[in-house]
Amino acid sequence: MSSLKSCGNAPRSSRSWTSSHTALVSTVMLSLSRFALGSTAASAVVDVMATPMSTPLTETRRKRLTIDTISDNLKKMDYAVRGKIAIEADRIADELRSKEGSSKHPFDHIIYTNIGNPHAVQQKAITWPRQVMALLQLPDALGIDHPKVSELFPEDAIKRAREMKKALGGSGIGAYTHSKGVREFRQDVANFIENRDHAEKGSVDVENIFLTAGASEAITMLMSALVKDSNCGVMLPIPQYPLYSATLDLLGGHKVGYNLDEKSNWGLNMKELERSLAEAKAKGINMVGLVLINPGNPTGQVLSPDEVKDIVTFCAENNLVLLSDEVYQENIYREGDKFFSSRRAADELGLIKNDAIQLCSFHSVSKGVMGECGQRGGYVEMVGIDSEVNDCLYKLAASKLCSNAPGQAMVSLMCRGPSPGDASYESHTMEKKAVFEGLKERARLVSNGLDSIPGISCQPATGAMYCFPSIKMPPGAIKASNERGFSPDTLYALDLLQTTGICVVPASGFGQEEGRFGFRTTFLSPESKYVVDSIREHYEAFCSKYSN
């Protein structure tokens, strides 16, 4: 302001300067308008400048973005695993951190069993991938080129970090990558798939692989391409992972459920698939895809090779794009069970060779034994997808520039670990086995423990990270939940949280048959035995509380 004042002969108030300045601007604009547009246009400029704003900024105006103006699809969208119960759990957790709030609750911490987030419940990171990641993060002078680097890191970690930095163009993980992901990392994925499925060498094309920020981003990307309009429908297993129903809600597509058979350990029934598809078509729905989750979430079942082949054949015969969610392929606990991919099924059936199937398979670093959820690394591999569609998906990926480079690197490390004979091979193998055995034991402990509670039934957790028990709901609980305007199993989960500090997800968020009630819980926590014992005690009290 001092420089403005010095332009005049005497000081002026900011108000008088503003008035003079406004008048000057008005005069200049009027002169320019007359010169460029003629007197008629100039009159219009004068009228505009002379007319006050319809709603002055100083007055209260209706906001543009309100709950009434946002997308109806967004309001409809529901993501149960971080819904009402999880929000309440976070609120209680905040209270527990304060002296005043901690006295309100009969527990001192929240046990989050609502989401498959292994490291959040004390699962240890596998050492070798983190060593390589550390070297990728460090500047070369402090990492791979430091004179004492070999004293801190094993040689195979240093070698791999050098190789990966070269693949990153020498710029490290701080630069944007190719929008599909670093080509060499995608090649690691291609080799991994070929080895896993006993496929012909070179049969997996890196150009059909996209590295993404977790499998969730890849799933959303493919569903966005698949659901052209509001008449499109996608078949979802019931129960299903809420990402699919939430995404369909957001896209405005139809959710077409096919029920899994709880009594046969959540098995597939082909007649149920045919019923579901026929009913949807009869309603005029344009059926475009089918979601398969194997191993299952939230159900924990592992499909046999024949069951996977039945699904693949069904999709090929009915011209449905198969979205195969395989993020738990490493989490298989029952003796004799083995992961059998949809891609392998399609290959053995000759569908890939004959270009008779469209298949998108998803995997992630978040699950398995790595449990690296926060790294946000995943991939989709596509089979039978036309090059023009691939180009459109590339355009979509390019609009976000690329997925995060650390996540891409972690995918590469998941797909290609230390080789036999490398310095870290034995320790890496032993660490992975220890994590797996812990998961396997807790899967047995939690599923058997819940199934032993009178009024609760739980199928064996043969895969993934979850149990999905059903519970007999006392009459009073159904009445009370109706009065409150939410599902009975939401009432149960809320009561469990407020009484024990255990956070589960109501089964209604995943879809279930009419009249069934239950919840989903992980078996990741080292407090799993305490969780089962607490649920046993709580359920008895809950039934007594809502007996009529």
Full 3-state SS string of 118-159: HHHHCCCCCHHHHHHHHHHHCCHHHCCCCCCHHHHCCHHHHH
Alpha-carbon distance of 294 to 284, in angstroms, equals 29
3 state SS of 402: coil
Strands 209-212 and 378-383: antiparallel
Burial class (CB in 10 A: 0-12, 13-18, 19+), 521: buried
- Tell me how crowded residue 139 is: count the other CB atoms within 10 A of its CB: 11
CA distances (Å), 442 to each of 40, 353, 460, 505, 527, in order?
A: 82, 42, 11, 19, 10
**What DSSP element (H or E) covers 50?**
helix 39-50
Q: What is the dihedral of CA 234, 293, 199, 462, to 10 degrees?
A: -160
Q: Does residue 319 come out as left (phi exceeding 0), alpha (psi in the -120 to 50 range) or beta?
A: left
* pLDDT tens across the length of the chain (548 residues): 433 333 444 444 444 434 444 444 444 444 444 444 444 444 444 444 445 555 565 566 678 777 777 777 776 766 655 678 889 999 999 999 887 777 789 899 999 999 888 998 889 999 999 999 999 999 999 999 999 999 999 999 999 999 999 999 987 899 999 999 999 999 999 999 999 999 999 999 999 999 999 999 999 999 999 999 999 999 999 999 989 999 999 999 999 999 999 999 999 999 999 999 999 999 999 999 999 999 999 999 999 999 999 999 999 999 999 999 999 999 999 999 999 999 999 999 999 999 999 999 999 999 999 999 999 999 999 999 999 999 999 999 999 999 999 999 999 999 999 999 999 999 999 999 999 999 999 999 999 999 999 999 999 999 999 999 999 999 999 999 999 888 999 999 999 999 999 999 999 989 898 899 999 999 999 999 999 999 999 999 999 999 88
pLDDT for residue 30: 42
| Helical pair 127-137 and 155-167, crossing angle rounded to 10 deg | 50
Residues 323 and 223: beta-carbon distance below 8 Å: yes
Gap between the Cα atoms of 263 and 516, Å rounded: 13
Q: How much is the pLDDT for 103?
A: 78
| R_g over Cα of the chain | 29
Task: Tell me what pLDDT residue 142 has.
Answer: 93
Contact (CB, 8 A) for 324 and 360: yes
Which pLDDT score, from 0 to 100, does residue 12 have? Answer: 40
Beta bridge mates, 324:
292, 361
Cα 281 from Cα 540, distance rounded (Å): 45
What number of residues does the chain have? 548
Q: Please report which residue ranges of 399-547 form alpha helices under DSSP H.
A: 405-415, 425-451, 475-484, 488-500, 528-545
Q: What are phi and psi for residue 381, nearest 5 degrees?
A: -115, 130
Separation between Cα atoms, residue 115 and residue 131, nearest integer Å:
27
What are the contacts of 264-271 at 24+ separation with CB within 8 A?
265/301, 265/459, 265/460, 265/462, 266/296, 266/299, 266/300, 266/301, 266/459, 266/468, 267/301, 267/303, 267/307, 268/303, 268/307, 268/310, 268/311, 270/310, 270/314
Verify cis geometry, omega within 30 degrees of 0, for the bond prior to 237: no
CB 325 within 8 A of CB 294: yes
How far are the Cα atoms of 163, 176, 218 from residue 182, in angstroms, in the given order?
12, 10, 16
pLDDT attached to residue 67: 77
Q: Which residues contact 194 (CB under 8 A, 6 or more apart)?
A: 200, 201, 202, 203, 204
CA pair distance 274, 179, nearest whole angstrom: 39
Strands 321-325 and 254-259: unpaired
Per residue in 481-502, is it b (16+ CB within 10 Å) or e — as a string? beeeeebbbbbbbbbbbebbbb
- Which residue from 236, 367, 263, 298 is spatially nearest to 519, judged by alpha carbons? 298
The dihedral through the CA atoms of 278, 279, 282, 288 has a sign that is negative
Residues ≥6 apart with Cβ < 8 Å to 50: none
Terminal-to-terminal C-alpha distance of the chain: 76
Copy the structure tokens of residue 383: 């089979």
Strand ordering across the sheet containing 321-325 = 209-212, 378-383, 359-364, 321-325, 286-293, 232-238, 254-259
3-state secondary structure 353-397: CCCCCCEEEEEECCCCCCCCHHHCCEEEEEECCCHHHHHHHHHHH
The reported pLDDT for the residue numbered 21 is: 45
Hey, what are 61's tokens?
Answer: 């105006």
Residue 160 pLDDT: 97
